[in-house]
A and B are shown apart, each in its own frame.
Chain A
């Protein structure tokens, strides 16, 4: 497998780009592995990569029922941030930010990280106080945060609606300057290539349908491509977590909901940052191709359908127009949805399950893209050592019975409210 570099581009360019080797192999499944990871999204692939790289565990397979990154990893709006304030979240997401820093070099794959800054616009004095508190907690934790009043934000983001008729007046904005975006497909492909290079088998079109049991212990999986034995089975299947957990006799504090995203036709550079609307669930950024990337709220009821409904289209576009009137005549090019594993406290679960042989990373809600590097790192650690890394120690399944929910939004046990 060739190393990617400027020189390689030049060399392959001179030979008509006819000699590039494939980025990862396409092996048939072996009958037995040390670890089988179910789900070829960012979390599964990153876990395989760090199992091989950090722990020397290379006899690993990643099984994906569709294609790599075809789940939420290839469907998200690519925002990378760490504006968290609850213990348990802060250190974890900041580890992720530090891993993002060097990810392209580490993987030898350009994940197109763009630290363009993340503005959260607020619309009332109360909201300003809440965000100021968040900013102060972040600063105390060593995570940069800045605060701007209305006059300052009018200079920085001149295209928002500051008119007297604006439905929700803009009081100012909070900024995490190190936050930004990354190319989602590249994250899946980069981790896949990096894992494959170290001997991990990446097997697509292979759906896990059940487990192989030895007494009370899981010792492998049944798949659409035959039985595969494994010392450890690790789930990284996002919205399908409850479905696969149920086959192991587990019921989880998770509901599956759909989240949509939208892209407009491309325009010249307009939105230089990620901007979040504080008055409704809406956020916007601009892709390198020029399309405006829009996101909104969950559709609001349990669903595995992986397609969104029109009420949220309307809600999102109304919010877009309320925040940035000048984009009202752009046309939408594409709209899609992903199935989210929403937990009862809005925070993830990483760890060993109460069934012998089964491990889980899940409950990523709608914030799991930015988490991919730290989640892969910590989940690999947990699987290899049989105990959590300090940074994911709080993300247990048992926290719910012990009263240690990590409820960043303060929304209570309502998955659709996080």
Chain B
């Protein structure tokens, strides 16, 4: 069981959250015409064995999307932030 620190609610069980995806992925500009850029956005992931920034949705809590800093090999969690603040 992961224990995920929500910036709003504090330390909560993984089961209160829904996993989103890799938070380093950024949607290209809507005027982007290069196929490869869109292909990479939709399909390609770094999939690191180590530190990973990822979206979680605190569905059964404050319902905020957050970005969690987690190691994919050890599951150690280093911190989190509200997604709206990270993206801004």
* Interface set of A (CB-CB < 8 Å, partner B): 240, 242-243, 246, 251-256, 300-305, 309-311, 344, 400-401, 413-414, 416
Given contacts A301-B19, A400-B43, contact A243 B35 (CB under 8 A): no
Judge whether A252 and B49 touch: CB under 8 Å: no
**Cα A243 to Cα B47 with chains together (Å):** 8
Expressed in whole angstroms, the minimum distance between the Cβ of A39 and any Cβ of chain B is 15
Docked-complex contact B49 and A243, CB < 8 angstroms: yes
Known contacts A309-B14, A310-B1; A300/B19 CB under 8 A: yes
Q: Given A311-B1, A401-B36, answer yes or no on A303-B75 (Cβ-Cβ < 8 Å).
A: yes
Q: How far is the CB of B58 from chain A (nearest CB, A)?
A: 14
Chain B residues with CB below 8 A from A305, complex form: 72-75
Contacts of B44 in A (CB 8 A): 251-253
Specify which of A256, A300, A301 is in contact with B47 (CB 8 Å cutoff).
A256
Q: Can you list 27 A-B contacts with CB-CB less than 8 angstroms, sorted by A residue number?
A: A242-B46, A243-B48, A243-B49, A246-B46, A246-B48, A251-B44, A251-B45, A251-B46, A252-B47, A253-B45, A254-B47, A255-B45, A300-B19, A301-B2, A302-B22, A302-B54, A303-B75, A304-B72, A304-B73, A305-B72, A305-B74, A309-B2, A344-B42, A400-B39, A400-B42, A400-B43, A414-B21
Q: Is the CB of A256 within 8 A of B14?
A: no
Instruction: List the B side residues contacting A302 at CB < 8 Å.
Output: 22, 47, 52, 54, 72
Bound: A302/B19 CA distance, A: 9
Main secondary structure on B side of the interface with A: mixed
Q: In the docked arrangement, what's the CA distance between A240 and B50, Å?
A: 12
Q: Are A401 and B35 in contact (CB-based, < 8 A)? A: yes
B positions within 8 Å CB-CB of A: 1-2, 14-15, 19, 21-22, 35-36, 39-40, 42-49, 52, 54, 72-75
- Decide if B73 touches A301 in the complex (CB within 8 Å): no
A254/B74 contact (C-beta < 8 A), A301-B19, A401-B36 known:
no
- Interface contact A242-B45, CB-CB below 8 Å: yes
| A240–B49 touching, CB < 8 Å | yes
Q: How far is the CB of B41 from chain A (nearest CB, A)?
A: 10
Q: How distant is the Cα of A304 from the Cα of B74 in the complex, in angstroms?
A: 8
Which of B35, B47, B49, B74 has most A Cβ within 10 Å? B47
Please, which residues of chain A bring their CB within 8 A of the CB of B15?
Answer: 311
Chain A residue contacts of B45, Cβ below 8 A: 242, 251-255
- Contact: A344 with B74, CB < 8 Å? no
Q: How far is the CA of A414 from the CA of B39 in the complex (A)?
A: 14
Q: Contact: A413 with B19, CB < 8 Å? A: no
B72:A416 contact, CB within 8 angstroms: no
Instruction: Give the shortest distance, in Å, between A135 (CB) and chain B (any CB).
Output: 31
The one of B42, B47, B52 that contacts A413, using a Cβ cutoff of 8 Å: B42
Known: A246-B46, A256-B47, A311-B15. A401 touches B75 (CB 8 A): no
Chain B: minimal CB distance from A162 (Å): 30
A413 near B43 with CB under 8 A, answer: yes
A416, B49: Cα distance in complex, Å: 17
Q: How far is the CA of A254 from the CA of B47 in the complex (A)?
A: 7
**Min C-beta distance of A247 to chain B, whole Å:** 11
Find the residue from A254, A300, A302, A309 having the highest chain B CB count within 10 A: A302
A251 to B22, CA, bound (A): 14
Cα A273 to Cα B40 with chains together (Å): 42
B-side contacts of A310, CB under 8 Å = 1
Additional 10 contacts, C-beta under 8 A, given A251-B46, A302-B22, A401-B36: A240-B49, A242-B46, A251-B40, A255-B22, A302-B54, A305-B73, A305-B75, A344-B42, A400-B43, A401-B39
In the assembled complex, which residues on chain B have CB atoms less than 8 Å from the CB atom of A256?
47, 49, 72
Bound-complex Cα distance A116 to B14 (A): 38
Chain A residues contacting B42 (CB-CB under 8 Å) are 344, 400, 413
A48–B42 alpha-carbon span in the complex (Å): 34
> Closest residue to B47 on the A side, CB-wise?
A242
